[in-house]
Structure 1
Amino acid sequence: MPPTAKRLAVFCGLFIATLLATGCVAPGQTGIDKRDYIDRTEREVRTELYQRIPDFSEELAEAPGYAVFSNVNVSVLLASASVGYGVAVDNDTGERTYMRMGGLGLGPGLGVKDFRALFLFDSPEVMQRFVNRGWSFGGQAEAAAKAQDKGAAVGTEVALDGMRVYQLTESGIVLQATLKGTKFWKDKELNYD
């Protein structure tokens, strides 16, 4: 490998390591601040989906639970890193479990992508497995839909192993579960009850 390529690879590695080290939690100084921020994000995502998808409130109410995550993905040349945070909510008990997410990927790209996603669980077992054991996605599911205000109807959600995933971006709802190489786990700092 030429010296310039080695330096570039080292720079990209350091950049991604810095991103992961500094971006794995919600903004705020205390655990209470971070939980408040995550709770506010969760409410905003639900509200946006209620407005954009007919009958979504019924789907959410009938599900055993759901999780909402906010994520930032940074791509630099041949590497990408994503970090995020969220909360899983048990609809039967109201219990809230705060979680983190992170991932690394390889492939060409340049830019920053900020999105939010809601996971709607089809069974209590799938939800408990997600919350208690964490989750790793090795594949990538894709489906695309434009927001209703852009002139196209919202299509079906992406279904992944006992859950449905709704991804929101600044341009509206995008039914593209870009979860390749992503891991989810409990946030020990924020689950102190």
Structure 2
Amino acid sequence: MKKMYTLSKFLLISHLLLFSTISFCQAGLWDSVKSVASDVGDAVTDTASKVGDTASDMIEDDVSPAQKRQTIDNNAQKTLSRLFEESREAQEYYDKAKGYAVFDSHEFAFLIKTGTGSGVAVNKIDNSRTYMKMLGAGANIGGGIKYMQIIFIFPTEVALDAFINDGWSADADASAVGGDDSGQLGLTLADGTKVYELVDTGIMAKMSIGGTKYWKDDDLN
């Protein structure tokens, strides 16, 4: 009964989000869709958070925190192995890095896209682990659901600690939103952190992670 209620709540929120977006289009405001992600601010973020939490509730009702941590760790290791197979450059950055973070994200793409995910940030010096959440919102034309992995490789402990303890928002980092024109794969942030995005077809050559936020998962730490 609880899962049926949770599923109904999730579907209702999803429909409200979609119908609200369509109403913008019908009102002749389609040209403003590209700015909806930033203009909608807390409203979209809050709705996306509720959708993500509801989806997590449906999937994880019977999963213990220890099992969740183990699943996240296993996914992170598999993702790193795949990344290194795809890019020798990424392997070289990782070998010199002080830490890394790996996130699995499900992106629900309608007219407004919302992406929710979980991951782990690891200090390579002492192997300490911090489990984290992610949320993204932005304008999108099209539909569907996409699965992806986001990998951060931190050159210094300072960069890693700031990411973990302060959280991180791509909107506050122009280098993340603007992209990397260096010709290399992924992004290079202002502090030297490398960011890669893996999808079904491999590493995204050009990417922008604007609209995404990362923070500690209090339930798993």
Into which bin does the TM-score normalised by the smaller protein fall?
0.7 to 0.9
CA distance in 2, matches of 1:187, 1:135: 13
Which of 133, 157, 172 is residue 124 of structure 1 equivalent to?
A: 157
Secondary structure of the structure 2 residue equivalent to 1:49 = helix
Contact 1:158 1:175 in 2 (8 A): no
Give ranges in structure 2 of 5+ residues lacking alignment: 1-16, 24-43
* Structure having the larger proportion of residues in strand: 1
Task: Give the superposition deviation at 1:22.
Answer: 2.4
Of residues 46-55 and 24-33 in structure 1, the stretch that sits farther from structure 2 once superposed is 24-33
Structure 1, unmatched stretches of 5+, are 1-5, 145-153
When normalised by structure 2's length, the TM-score is 0.69
Task: State yes or no: 1:9 paired with 2:41.
Answer: no
**Alignment RMSD, CA only?**
3.1
Q: Distance in 2 between matches of 1:170 and 1:159?
A: 22
Residue number in structure 1 paired with 2:137: 104
Question: Hey, what does 2:124 align to over in structure 1?
Answer: 91
Q: CA deviation at 1:103?
A: 1.9
Shift of 1:175: 3.4
> What is the number of residues matched between the two proteins?
177
Tell me whether 1:72 sits opposite 2:72 in the alignment: no
For residues 76 and 156 of structure 1, the distance between their equivalents in structure 2, rounded to whole angstroms, comes to 27
Secondary structure of the corresponding residue to residue 109 of structure 1: coil
Structure with the largest fraction of helix: 2
- What displacement does 1:67 show? 0.4
Identity score, percent = 28
What letter corresponds to residue 43 of structure 1 in structure 2?
Q
After the TM superposition, which of the residue ranges 49-58 and 111-120 deviates more from structure 2? 49-58
Deviation digits for residues 93-129 of structure 1 (CA, Å, limit 9, x no counterpart) = 1001000000222343322121001101122111110
| TM-score, reference length from structure 1 | 0.78
Residues 165 and 177 in structure 1, CA contact (< 8 A), matched pair in contact too: no
1:172 partnered with 2:205: no
Trace 1:19-168 onto structure 2 (pairs within 5 A). 19-23=51-55, 29-54=63-88, 56-77=90-111, 79-138=112-171, 140-142=177-179, 155-162=184-191, 163-168=193-198
**C-alpha deviation, 1:16, in angstroms:** 4.7
